[in-house]
């Protein structure tokens, strides 16, 4: 990896755009399609968009926080950037693949780095049947929705839905209901990372459901299949003192 062949990409915010302009003046850079390292400036949304943008190239992404939360980002500093990139630690992630079948028979194939979520579209609660590796685990879940989360995404929407935080390298996925009504006491499950999950939407004309893979939404789905895709490697770069594994672990001890 040649840290001098870097490209800068930025979110649309004023802070991110200004940071990009300053860094491009300070450091040599190349167009994104020629880069060996991409420096993303913004928040976690910018990082996810950048990972999706360069999905086919598998180029390492080094993020610096010019957004709000910045869980997937490094601290923003303008000096010593090349040295920081050169000594950064790499984390390789495998995303989820979602195959959603709509009521009209069409299928949408999408990649999710954080999570795949199913959400009711109307006032009517969703009714879902859940299969894991071909076996029915819940015949009917009445809920606002449900999600499958990766370890990297477990501190995002999954955590807001009271799902578990998953350490990197644990080799598991979180299956987390959103406002489950029945079975009332079901709080979700931890699944092997190689598990294949199928959601069948019951009574879909009356109780329509949408499926969302990160930022890609599919309306009026009748079946959604989700599994980890080990053929896709996503590489994030972190300063040694702010590595992602430590951040995910530390989240479990916050008051």
Same domain, yes or no, for 159 and 184?
yes
* Domain total in the chain: 2
CA distance 61 to 63: 6
- For the purposes of burial, counting CB atoms within 10 Å of the CB of 201, is it exposed (0-12), middle (13-18) or buried (19 or more)? buried
State the pLDDT at residue 250. 84
Residue 119 included in any domain: yes
- Residue partners of 80: CB distance under 8 A and separation at least 6: none
Same domain, yes or no, for 11 and 83?
yes
Same domain, yes or no, for 60 and 118?
no
Residues in the chain: 255
Same domain, yes or no, for 110 and 223?
yes
Q: Phi and psi of 164, rounded to 5°?
A: -80, 150
Same domain, yes or no, for 47 and 142?
no
Residue 2: pLDDT above 70? Answer: no
Is the pLDDT higher at 197 or at 254?
197
Edge-to-edge strand list for the sheet holding 135-143: 107-112, 96-102, 221-228, 197-201, 126-132, 135-143
Instruction: Express each pLDDT in 34-69 by its tens digit.
Output: 999 999 999 999 999 999 999 888 899 999 999 887
Specify whether the CB–CB gap between 213 and 89 falls below 8 A. no
Residue 85 included in any domain: yes
Residue 137 included in any domain: yes
Which percentage of the chain shows pLDDT scores above 70? 98
Residue 196 included in any domain: yes
210: enclosing H helix or E strand: strand 209-213
Instruction: Express each pLDDT in 111-168 by its tens digit.
Output: 999 999 999 999 999 999 999 999 999 999 999 999 999 998 999 999 999 999 998 8
Domain region containing 43: 6-93+233-251
Mean pLDDT of 23-28: 96
Same domain, yes or no, for 100 and 197?
yes
Residue 14: pLDDT above 80? Answer: yes
| CATH number of the domain to which 37 belongs | 3.40.50.10330
Tokens at residue 83, please?
């040295």
Same domain, yes or no, for 59 and 143?
no
Q: Is the pTM of this model over 0.75?
A: yes
70 pLDDT tier (thresholds 50, 70, 90): confident
Same domain, yes or no, for 209 and 238?
no
| CATH number of the domain to which 205 belongs | 2.60.200.30
Place of tokens 């790499």: 90
Mean pLDDT of 174-181: 96
Average confidence score pLDDT of the chain: 94
Residue 1 included in any domain: no
Specify whether the CB–CB gap between 119 and 175 falls below 8 A. no
* Residues catalogued as catalytic: 44
Which residue, 151, 34, 22, is CA-closest to 76? 22
Same domain, yes or no, for 74 and 153?
no
Same domain, yes or no, for 146 and 59?
no
Same domain, yes or no, for 89 and 17?
yes
Tokens at residue 211, please?
């499926």
Residue 138 included in any domain: yes
Same domain, yes or no, for 11 and 58?
yes
- Residue partners of 246: CB distance under 8 A and separation at least 6: none
225 pLDDT tier (thresholds 50, 70, 90): very high
Specify whether the CB–CB gap between 44 and 113 falls below 8 A. no
Residue 246: pLDDT above 90? Answer: no
- Residue partners of 116: CB distance under 8 A and separation at least 6: 96, 98, 147, 148, 211, 212, 213, 224, 226
Edge-to-edge strand list for the sheet holding 145-149: 189-192, 172-178, 145-149, 115-120, 209-213, 216-218
């Amino acid at each position: 990896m040649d840290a001098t062949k870097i490209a800068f990409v930025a979110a649309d915010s004023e802070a991110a755009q200004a940071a990009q302009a300053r860094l491009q003046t300070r450091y040599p850079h190349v167009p994104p399609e020629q880069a060996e390292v991409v420096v993303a400036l913004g928040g976690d949304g910018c990082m996810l968009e950048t990972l999706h943008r360069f999905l086919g190239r598998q180029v390492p992404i080094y993020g610096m926080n010019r957004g709000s939360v910045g869980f997937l980002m490094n601290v923003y500093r303008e000096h010593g950037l090349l040295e920081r990139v050169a000594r950064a630690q790499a984390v390789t992630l495998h995303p989820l693949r979602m195959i959603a079948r709509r009521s009209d028979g069409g299928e949408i194939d999408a990649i999710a780095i954080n999570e795949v979520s199913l959400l009711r579209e109307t006032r009517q609660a969703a009714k879902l049947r859940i299969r894991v590796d071909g076996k029915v685990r819940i015949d009917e879940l009445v809920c606002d929705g449900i999600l499958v989360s990766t370890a990297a995404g477990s501190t995002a929407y999954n955590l807001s839905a009271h799902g578990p935080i998953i350490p990197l390298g644990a080799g598991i996925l979180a299956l987390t209901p959103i406002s489950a009504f029945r079975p009332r006491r079901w709080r979700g499950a931890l699944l092997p990372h190689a598990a294949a999950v199928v959601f069948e939407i019951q009574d879909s004309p009356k109780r329509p459901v949408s499926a969302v893979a990160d930022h890609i939404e599919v309306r009026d789905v009748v079946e959604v299949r989700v599994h980890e895709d080990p053929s896709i490697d996503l590489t994030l770069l972190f300063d040694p003192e702010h590595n992602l594994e430590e951040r995910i672990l530390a989240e479990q001890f916050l008051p």
